[in-house]
Amino acid sequence: MDPRLKRLKFRAWRRGFREADLILGPFVDTFSAGMSAAELDELERLLDQADQDLYAWIIGRVDTPEAFETPMMARIKAFRFEARGAREDLGG
């Protein structure tokens, strides 16, 4: 596996905030291999943000700052419903 993708997967699954892990981990697992270098840069920039802030933006509890309201953030926000549905299908 590409070291960059491996690092991104680790960061997405081990945020230290379980709710964020359950959205970001599956998102990165599902989409990162097909992302361009620019998209990976954008994803890394989002993962650099504080867990509580990032999660609040994803679920819409707090408005996403303009600098982070990107196509990648829109993809993650849309994916959260898929991730939730998958957990419910598994009884979680």
Tens-digit pLDDT profile for residues 25-69: 999 999 999 999 999 999 999 999 999 999 999 999 999 999 999
CATH H-level superfamily of 3-89: Flavinator of succinate dehydrogenase (1.10.150.250)
Does residue 89 surpass a pLDDT of 60?
Answer: no
Q: Provide the whole-model pTM.
A: 0.86
Where do the domains of the chain lie? 3-89
- Please spell the DSSP secondary structure of the chain, one letter per residue: --HHHHHHHHHHH-SS-HHHHHHHHHHHHHHGGG--HHHHHHHHHHHTS-HHHHHHHHHTSSPPPGGG-SHHHHHHHHHHHHHHHHHHHTT-
Closest CA to 26 of 78, 82, 74, 77: 82
- Weakest mean pLDDT among 5-9, 18-22, 27-31, 37-41: 18-22
